Amino acid sequence: MSGSIIFSAIDLTDGLYPILMKESDIPLTAVSTPSGMLWEWLVIPQGLKNAPAASNRMVSHVLRPLRAFAPNYFDDIFVHSRAEDGLSAVNAHLRDPRPVFEKMRENNLYANLKKCVFCAPEISVLGCYVSKDGARADPEKISSIRTQEPDGASSMAGSRQLPPQVYERLRGPDPANVFLVEEGRGVGLAS
């Protein structure tokens, strides 16, 4: 996404349901109801161990030809555009989502329009905001870290320093007090 100026985020609905169950595995998903009815899943149900990985693999496979400008993470697709081929970034971005929508239509993938963002200068990606200036943490997600007070003034001089006990362990031996030791089979340094 580096160098891109305009971004869109597409959130897919029902991430698992477009994936059909293997015919021989359908009976393994059978559920009996109190009324005696037997239901079998024809698509991957929520809760199977490998269902999220299968969904991610399917979306990645569908979008593989478009990954230069439309990477995905599970059910999120991030379309990004930069000025190229004589087109402005806006015109490039009006062109780039079209093949994504065509691939979605071909593979029965649907977008949750309430969670989609189109033609924005900045989008939210995995708890960070991505823009032409790079990635930055979502201020709402790190607010508790920023407002956290140190445990005690004596143990920490500032909020970004480690307690002295940690420095003691990381410091290692004092080179002024190091001397050569010959014990058993080896020669080494000790303090």
| Distance separating alpha carbons of residues 103 and 61, to the nearest angstrom | 11
State the average pLDDT over residues 163-185: 62
Taking the domain 6-144, which CATH number applies? 3.30.70.270
Answer yes or no: is pLDDT of 191 > 50. Answer: no
Contact 70, 79 (CB under 8 A): yes
| Distance separating alpha carbons of residues 107 and 110, to the nearest angstrom | 9
pLDDT at 52: 87
| Distance separating alpha carbons of residues 101 and 35, to the nearest angstrom | 42
- Condensed to tens digits (0 to 9), the pLDDT of residues 9-36 reads 999 988 767 788 899 999 988 999 999 9
